[in-house]
Each structure stands twice: as structure tokens, then as C-alpha cells.
Amino acid sequence: MFNYKKLISDIRFWLLLFFFLRLLTITLPPLEVSHNWRQTTVTMVARNFLEEDADILYPRIDFAGEKPGITGMEFPLLNYFVYLFSLVFGYAHWYGRLINLVISTIGLWYFYKLTRMFFGEKHAFYSAFLLLLSVWLTYSRKIMPDTFSMAFVCIGFYHVCNYLRGERGIFSLLLFLVFALAGVLSKLPSGYCLVFLIPLFIDKSALPTRKVLVSLMCVFILVLSGTYYFYWVPYLKTTFGVDHFFMGKSLSDGFTEIITHAGQALQKFYEAAFGYSGFILFIFGIIIAVVKKQKTILVVLILGLSSFLVIIFKGGFAFYHHTYYIIPFVPVMAICAAFTLTNIKQKAVLISVLCIFSLESIFSNFADFHINPEFESVASLESILDKYYKKTDLVLINSGNVPTPLYFTHRKGWIEYNERLSDKPYIESLKEKGLRCIVVTKNVFGKNIDLNYTIIYEDKDFKIYSL
């Protein structure tokens, strides 16, 4: 007889279920409302690896005008995976979605295994389930490195914990190095997780030689990541004259911005990360842990929050304006929230709470699995321009600071606000640099504007001026 209770109590069932559910519409181009601009900066770099230069240390963007577009950015590992995939199957916008979804799902499995080491089967199940349906639900299928990075860190931590506990040999240490380095390089804030090794170093049961080797690996990860972000990224910016990557504020400026906008910053915890029901579970988990003196959970919370505050203050304005900044801290919240669930004795209440949390998460994120209908026309820009211009011709688009429309032209050029399009001396200077046409987006990413140039194409969405 089929044992459905055993099935639904196995985290692998839920991981696979939501993996396949998120495959729906996965081939859509990156034109959803939330962070299409960040996704297209990933895809354009991947496409340039394929079409121009595959050197991973010299990533290229499209919106640097006549310049090569080489600039400093997050280490482009996800971009490079898209490039490698494209070598085999040819280029398509959506590969990054699938790659991120696969890696993030594997990372969730390792998060479950890691949590099970220290908190037991039930707590691990709830932690992984809550994390699965958190902000990770949608961001693990976006063409962005945030959950991708944290997934690698989770895999690495599982292996290093096995190594320190004496359950695995040197190969596990090497796996920690590979995966943790991949995670921290892909997204520097993920490096805050290294702080969770402190309790393992204090644990007297771990062999001193193993602690020393892990410490050396951590130093190597931090030195290599620091060299990339604090030497190589500025070098590329200075050498090639393209300022693209946000390196954060000073801690004092970021602290001031966060304190001044504390309500917006807190919203990332109680709305963006888990939804309201998940945040309530998180708060109750902390309270119960204090009452029951559950030291392990409190240590995870205190270490995680104290180190993550550095990320918050470095982000400043960016933290409370962009949802993805909270992603590295959500696993900590999941562990705390899961403690609430493990203390609910009434099965009906437990199921009700899980259903409320799940429904809130699914319905609040449903729109993110579809393209905004208003944005659909942007995907046609390449075919429109192909009728009049070569792929090497430079274009200017009135999309402000959003590169999404330019990416879909499959060309390089500039992105500006309407005010700059009306600046004739500025346009003349761009013509001298190779500008061939101006694309005016009338409804999305920009507003209609009439210019004193020859119109070669116009429809309800776009107007193209020839120069």
C-alpha cells in the first residue's frame, strides 16, 4: 500500500515538486517586473563570452557605448555556466534560470543535510521547507547569482562540518574549498557565513590539525575573494573606464541610511524574506529558544545577525531598496522559524500553519512566474533593428539606467533619460563615437519623446530615429 505520509514527510519530495513546478514558464525571457535589469546584465555578459571573448576575468557589458564594455562586477561564474551551456546548445536567454534552479535546489538539499547534523530530522525538514518557500522560491529561478552563491556555500559547509567532526577525510576539505570559494566569489556577502565555523573551532572534539587546515582554507578563500573584489574589480574599472559594480557605502554612511529608513530596512525581514506568517514563526522561534535555553539556535542567530549587520550597513540604501540583499540571511531565519514548528504539538495546528505560510508565499510570488504583458514588446527589438542596422551598429535607448531594452536589441550602445536625448551637442558627440540610431520606448522603460531626426520606424511601442 502506498505510504503517502512517508512521501510528504520526505524533503526530497518537496524539493522535486517545486523544482518541476518552477520549470513552468522557465523558457520565458527575463522580462518579469522584478529585477529584469539585473538578469539582463547577467545574460549580456554570458552572451559576450560566447560572441566576443570567453576570458572569465574580463566580463563585458553592452551599455558602455563605443568602449569594449569590460568592467568590474561580481565574479561571473553563473554567466560563465550560461556561456558553457551555450557552447553546446546555442544561446538562449533562459539558460541562466535553469542553471540557477538546479544549483539552488541542490543547495537546499545540502542545507537540509547540514541542519540535520545539528538539530535533528524534524527541525531540518521544517528549516528546508521554510527556506524553499521563502524569497528563495522565486530568486532561485532568476538569472541572478544570489541563491546560486548561497547554495554553493551550503554545499561547502556540509563538507567542512563532516571534515571537522572527523566523519570524512581530506577530500571533504577540498570540496569545502571548491564550493565555498565558488559561493563567496559569486556573491561576496555570502562570505559572512564563514562566521558559523567559530563554534566548530571552539568545539574540543575536533582535531587541532583539522582546525588549522580549515583555517588555512578560509584564509585562502578570503584572500582570493578579497583580491578579486578589492583589487581586480577596481583595476578593470580604472583601466577600461566603465563604472558598473556597486561596492557598497562606508559603514558610517550606510549605518546612517539604515537608521534613517529603519522601517523600510525591517520590511525586508518581515515581508520580503518570509512573508508575514514566516516572520511571525521566526520571532516565536527566537522567544521559544530563549525560554528553553536552546543555545545552538541562539548562537546561530547571534553570530549570523551580528556579522550580517556589516552587509546591511555596507549596502545602506541598496539594502532596503532591493529584495535580494536579504537572501543570505534567510537560512538563519528558517532555522529559527523551524524551531517554532517543532514545538507545535497539535497536528491540525501544525498543518494549518504550514498551509498558511505556503499559500502566502505562493500567491505573493505568483506574478513573478510570468512576463509583464507591457514588457513583451521589448523582446521584438532585435528583429526590428535587424531590418535597418547591422549587429555592430551602436544604438541609444531612452531607458534611463535600465539596460534591459538594450540587451534585447542584441547591440551595444548607450542608455539615457529623455533629457539627454534632447541635448543636441551630446547626441553629436555620440555620433562621432559611432551612434547610428536612437530607439525611443514609448510605454515601458521610458516615455515618448519627439526629436528632430528622421523617423525610419514607428509603432505603438517604439520609435526609431536614424542618425
| Residue 65 pLDDT | 94
Residue 367: what pLDDT? 77
* Amino acid in the structure at residue 5: K
Q: Which three cell numbers stand for residue 381?
A: 527589438
CA distance 360 to 1: 33
pLDDT, position 1: 57
For residue 397, give the 3-state DSSP assignment: strand
**How far is residue 235 CA from its own chain's centroid?**
24
Q: Which residues contact 416 (CB under 8 A, 6 or more apart)?
A: 396, 397, 398, 400
pLDDT in the model for residue 248: 81
DSSP state of 194: G
Domain segments of the chain as ranges:
18-368, 373-466
* Spatial CA neighbour of 141 closest among 108, 185, 188, 112: 108
Within 10 angstroms of residue 232's Cβ, the number of other Cβ atoms is: 14
Return the exposure string of 89-122: e unless at least 16 CB atoms fall within 10 Å of the residue's CB, then b: eebbbbbbbbbbbebbbbbbbbbbbbbbeebeee
Give residue for cell 520580503.
Answer: 272
In this structure, are residues 439 and 384 in contact, taking their beta carbons and an 8 Å threshold? no
Does pTM top 0.75 for this prediction? yes
pLDDT at 8: 85
Listed in sequence order, the DSSP H helices in 165-207 are 170-186, 198-202
CA separation for the pair 380, 325 (Å, rounded): 32
Q: Is 183 exposed, middle or buried (0-12, 13-18, 19+ CB in 10 A)?
A: buried
* H helix runs in 390-465, sequence order: 404-409, 418-421, 424-432
Look at strands 462-466 and 454-458 and give their pairing.
antiparallel
pLDDT at 154: 98
Q: Which residues contact 436 (CB under 8 A, 6 or more apart)?
A: 389, 393, 394, 395, 466, 467
H helices then E strands: how many in the chain? 23, 5
| Residues counted in the chain | 467
The low-confidence residues of the chain, meaning pLDDT below 50, are: none
Question: How far is it, in rounded angstroms, from Cα 332 to Cα 25?
Answer: 30
> Is residue 223 classed exposed, middle or buried when 0-12, 13-18 and 19+ CB atoms within 10 A define those classes?
exposed
